[in-house]
């Protein structure tokens, strides 16, 4: 099969992005993720297949609309005794036709995930390239981009043929051979480092960090010529302790890395969890205080590691 014919499932393509790498970029959000971070801002990316989302605030069931109820072939949608629209999420998770979304003109019900060929994606990128700055290009994000490694590799090969600058945002949770093969087509890498303790890492993300740390070290010590910036979401009472931050600085020095971007916690994913019929574990958590961010940044700076806070970055 030609690279241009390979298909991938994407849940969003954002043009004019300025926080996902150098210059102005197009960010491609890919479905599928082996991690299940409890604070995830993109829970709609977890599954490697299209799924339904329900935005209750857009629904007009209280105005008498019942098109979705009649359209659903699985009887998964109903009204409660007090007239509230209800979805049977177990049945919805098995759906492949999404007939309810097709008849919802208010976009209260929508399908998350659309299949694109590499050729279709490259056409979008070439269109957007006219608005990129000199340093701009494409950023592949997720979800976890390696979940669809065949599509990712095919898309990256075509990007290089079209002289498109490439950035990747990844957890690096993939076998090392695949990781290194893909990285040869990457110019700039953001790699997450969520916690240095393997047990605590698994408690909140669902996976151990051994493979992640191995891949970071392997890439850092290789002859790869790109730029690596580690990223750490600051999660209260999980990874924001001085002990953990110091261990990260020690690891970075060990492998020869000296740039990290700390990201303040936010609740922007809260509504998405609700739209997927899930309860957000961090719905009552407050955004990371500037005082905490400054303190963490100071620890990194004292260790001679460049630490960028939030979107305040030189890239």
pLDDT of residue 81: 84
The yes-or-no verdict on residue 266 having pLDDT over 90 is: yes
**Region 305-312: what's the mean pLDDT?**
95
Beta strand ranges found along the chain (DSSP E): 7-17, 25-30, 51-54, 77-79, 85-87, 109-112, 114-117, 137-141, 166-170, 188-192, 227-234, 259-264, 306-309
User: pLDDT over 90 for what percent of the chain?
Assistant: 93
pLDDT tier at 64, thresholds 50, 70, 90: confident
Q: Which residue has the tokens 């890395």?
A: 257
The yes-or-no verdict on residue 82 having pLDDT over 90 is: no
**Region 102-115: what's the mean pLDDT?**
96
User: pLDDT over 70 for what percent of the chain?
Assistant: 100
To which H or E segment does residue 87 belong?
Answer: strand 85-87
Distance CA 164, CA 125 (A): 8
Answer CATH for 3-48+114-309 from 1.10.510.10, 1.20.120.10, 3.30.2090.10, 3.20.20.70: 3.20.20.70
CA distance readout (Å), 226 to 48, 51, 133, 137, 216: 29, 35, 19, 14, 13
pLDDT of residue 63: 85
Q: What is the DSSP string of 162-207?
A: TT--EEEEE---S-HHHHHHHHTT-SEEEEE---SSHHHHHHHHSS
Closest to 233 (Cα-Cα) out of 305, 304, 292, 149: 292
Cβ atoms within 10 Å of 79's Cβ, excluding its own = 12
Same fold across 3-48+114-309 and 51-112: no
pLDDT of residue 62: 84
pLDDT of residue 151: 98
**Region 175-183: what's the mean pLDDT?**
98
pLDDT of residue 314: 87
pLDDT tier at 275, thresholds 50, 70, 90: very high
**Region 30-37: what's the mean pLDDT?**
98
pLDDT tier at 312, thresholds 50, 70, 90: confident
* Residue extents of the structural domains in the chain: 3-48+114-309, 51-112
Q: What's the CATH class of domain 51-112?
A: alpha beta
Q: Taking every pair of C-alpha atoms in the chain, what is the biggest distance, in angstroms? A: 65
Q: Which two tokens stand for residue 133?
A: 């700055």
pLDDT tier at 169, thresholds 50, 70, 90: very high
Are 202 and 190 in contact by the 8 Å Cβ rule? The answer is: no
pLDDT of residue 133: 84
pLDDT mean across residues, the chain: 96
pLDDT tier at 139, thresholds 50, 70, 90: very high
């Amino acid at each position: 099969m030609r690279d241009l014919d390979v298909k991938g499932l994407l849940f969003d393509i954002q043009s004019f992005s300025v926080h996902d790498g150098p210059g102005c970029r197009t960010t491609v959000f890919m479905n599928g993720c082996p991690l299940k971070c409890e604070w995830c801002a993109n829970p709609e990316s977890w599954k490697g297949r299209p799924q339904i989302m329900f935005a209750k605030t857009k629904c007009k069931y209280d105005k008498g609309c019942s098109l979705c109820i009649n359209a659903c072939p699985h009887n998964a949608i109903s009204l409660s005794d007090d007239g509230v629209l209800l979805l049977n999420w177990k049945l919805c998770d098995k759906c492949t036709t999404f007939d309810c979304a097709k008849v919802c003109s208010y976009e209260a019900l929508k399908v998350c995930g659309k299949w694109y060929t590499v050729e279709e994606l490259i056409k979008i990128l070439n269109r957007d390239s006219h608005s990129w700055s000199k340093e701009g290009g494409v950023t592949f994000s997720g979800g976890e981009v390696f979940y669809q490694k065949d599509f990712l590799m095919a898309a990256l090969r075509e990007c290089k043929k079209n002289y498109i600058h490439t950035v990747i945002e990844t957890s690096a949770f993939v076998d090392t051979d695949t990781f290194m093969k893909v990285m040869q087509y990457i110019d700039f890498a953001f790699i997450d480092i969520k916690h240095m303790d393997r047990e605590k890492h698994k408690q909140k993300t669902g996976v151990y960090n051994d493979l992640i740390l191995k891949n970071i070290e392997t890439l850092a010590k290789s002859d790869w010529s790109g730029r690596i910036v580690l990223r750490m979401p600051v999660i209260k009472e999980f990874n924001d302790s001085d002990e953990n931050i110091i261990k990260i600085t020690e690891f970075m020095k060990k492998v020869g890395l000296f740039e990290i971007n700390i990201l303040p916690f936010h609740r922007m994913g809260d509504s998405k969890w609700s739209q997927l019929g899930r309860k957000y574990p961090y719905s009552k958590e407050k955004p990371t205080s500037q005082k905490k961010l400054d303190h963490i940044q100071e620890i990194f700076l004292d260790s001679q590691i460049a630490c960028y806070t939030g979107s305040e970055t030189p890239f």
